[in-house]
Structure 1
Amino acid sequence: MARYRGPKAKIARKFGEAIEGHSKALQKKNYPPGQHGRGRRKKQSEYAIQLQEKQKAKYIYGVLERQFAKMFDIASRKQGITGENLLQLLEARLDNIVYRLGIAPTRRGARQLVSHRHILVNGELVNIPSYTVKPGDIVSVRERSKSLEAITNSLAGRGASKFPWLEWDNSSLAGKVVSTPTRDEIPENIKEQLIVELYSK
């Protein structure tokens, strides 16, 4: 399976929530996509609910199946709650940090900025979206990329930081990862326990 690049509205309708940003499609058509969308049976099996939660997490963070399974394996071997460890690993991805700092308006946009070599980590160029950023690392915009319209527009619409685990310096266009986020500091509507149960089968 390749990375999903189709309509965002279709995914929003599939899961019944705007997982890739605001979508008017949910207001107009609040039922799943496809010719059987309206008549689809409401009752789902336990497995279907767990699988749907995993698929939702994959779509939100833009992670493929093999990457996701590998991250779950790492999360399960770490100390602490497996589900929370998994979300912390997903949040620590470089493309997600770029998005959370407001350098890009979406994770798709953040992934493109990283892969097109516009982002530095601790002063070094990193073009791998899945790169794991650690507490203490500084993520910044490359000097020659600071005037890019996509970046300036995104930062212009950036309000005060909503994430206490991140610090942003507007003068240098650089952000610091202060700490690993707790579950309360991760706003995504993901029931991570269902994903743990799915992988435990």
Structure 2
Amino acid sequence: MARYRGPKAKIARRFNEPIFGPSKALSKKAYPPGQHGRGRRRKQSEYALQLMEKQKAKYTYGVLERQFANLFDKASRKEGVTGTVLLQLLETRLDNIVYRLGISPTRRGARQFVSHKHITVNGEVVNVPSFHVKVGDVVAVRERSKSLEKITDSLSARAGKRPAWLEFDAAQFAGKVIAVPQRDEILENIQEQLIVELYSK
């Protein structure tokens, strides 16, 4: 399945945020990438700001252009504030839930765990990272995968640092979605209104 495979530090510097996790590049080179990164840049247009916000959301959640457009279309047809619904749809992707539960330290790693059939939803193996997890669904580590060092290390590091809309049973290596995340519970630095304005043009 296609995904971004390019340099992660370059993307982090473009948005001046650790999109793929902690990055030393942000402190060593606190300016945008490219030959004009250090120079002055003219004030960005409204369209440029909107586009950048969309790209930031795509890289953050590991979603490609067509997938993102489909998600926005789905969000626009649902009840509620479109931007908030869009973020809720991104947050309830299976790979993101695996990351939020602490089974993987990164979304990229979570995507790999799902693709390699280490994760179950309600007892059934699911290997589709974009699978939409609903309230009440139980996401767990497959029995034979519970001894994987990467999983146990990640769970130890994330102990007690999970969002309130998720419930986690450490003994069973399983988490449950107990509610749809509200906007103030989604901590990613994304201005979703700019994305809505971009798609509304």
TM-score (norm: length of structure 2)? 0.97
- Which string of whole-angstrom CA distances, capped at 9 and with x for unpartnered residues, describes residues 28-77 of structure 1? 11111111211251410000000000000000000000000000000001
> Is 1:15 the equivalent of 2:9?
no
Aligned in 2, Cα 1:180/1:103: closer, same or farther, shift over 3 Å? same
- Could you tell which deviates more after superposition, 160-169 or 172-181? 160-169
User: What whole-Å deviation, never above 9, does each CA across 1:97-120 have from its counterpart, x for those lacking one?
Assistant: 000000000000000000000000
Contact residue 101 and residue 162 of structure 2 kept, 8 A:
no
Once residues 31 and 183 of structure 1 are traced to their aligned partners in structure 2, the CA distance between those partners, rounded to angstroms, is 30
Q: C-alpha displacement at 1:159, in angstroms? A: 2.4
CA distance in 1: counterparts of 2:105 and 2:77, whole angstroms: 33
Give the Å deviation of 1:162: 3.1
Aligned residues: 200
User: Matched residues in 1 for 2:42 and 2:100: separation?
Assistant: 34
- Is the deviation greater in 170-179 or in 32-41? 32-41
Displaced runs of 4 or more, over 2 A: none
d(CA) in 1 for partners of 2:197, 2:16: 22
Aligned residue number for residue 115 of structure 1: 115
Residue type of the alignment partner of 2:183: R
Q: What is the one-letter code of the residue matched to 2:176?
A: K
**Secondary structure in structure 2 of the residue aligned to 1:67:** helix
Aligned counterparts, 1:71-86, within 5 A: 71-86=71-86
Corresponding residue of 1:194: 194
The aligned residue for residue 92 of structure 2 is: 92
Distance 1:157 1:13 in 2: 26
1:33-112 superposed matches below 5 A: 33-112=33-112
What's the offset of the Cα at 1:19? Answer: 1.4
RMSD over aligned CA atoms reads 0.9
Contact 2:102 2:162 in 1 (8 A): no
1: CA distance, partners of 2:146 / 2:42: 49
Q: Unaligned regions of 5+ residues in structure 1, if any? A: none
Check whether the contact 1:31–1:38 (CA below 8 A) recurs between aligned residues: yes
Q: Paired residue for 1:162?
A: 162
Q: Which amino acid aligns with 1:127?
A: N
1:117-173, CA deviations, whole angstroms, 9 ceiling, x for partnerless residues?
Answer: 000000000000000000000000000000011101111111214311000000000
SS of aligned partner of 1:176: strand
CA distance in 1: counterparts of 2:193 and 2:172, whole angstroms: 39
- Determine the C-alpha separation between the residues in 1 that align with 2:46 and 2:108: 31
Aligned equivalents of 1:158 and 1:25: distance in 2?
24
Deviation sequence 1:169-194 (CA, Å, 0-9, x none): 00000000001000000000000000
Residue 145 of structure 2 corresponds to 145
CA 1:6/1:40 → structure 2, altered by over 3 Å: closer, same or farther?
farther
The percent identity for this pair of structures is 75
SS across alignment from 1:114? helix
Task: State the partner residue of 1:133.
Answer: 133
Determine helix, strand or coil for the equivalent of 2:52. Answer: helix
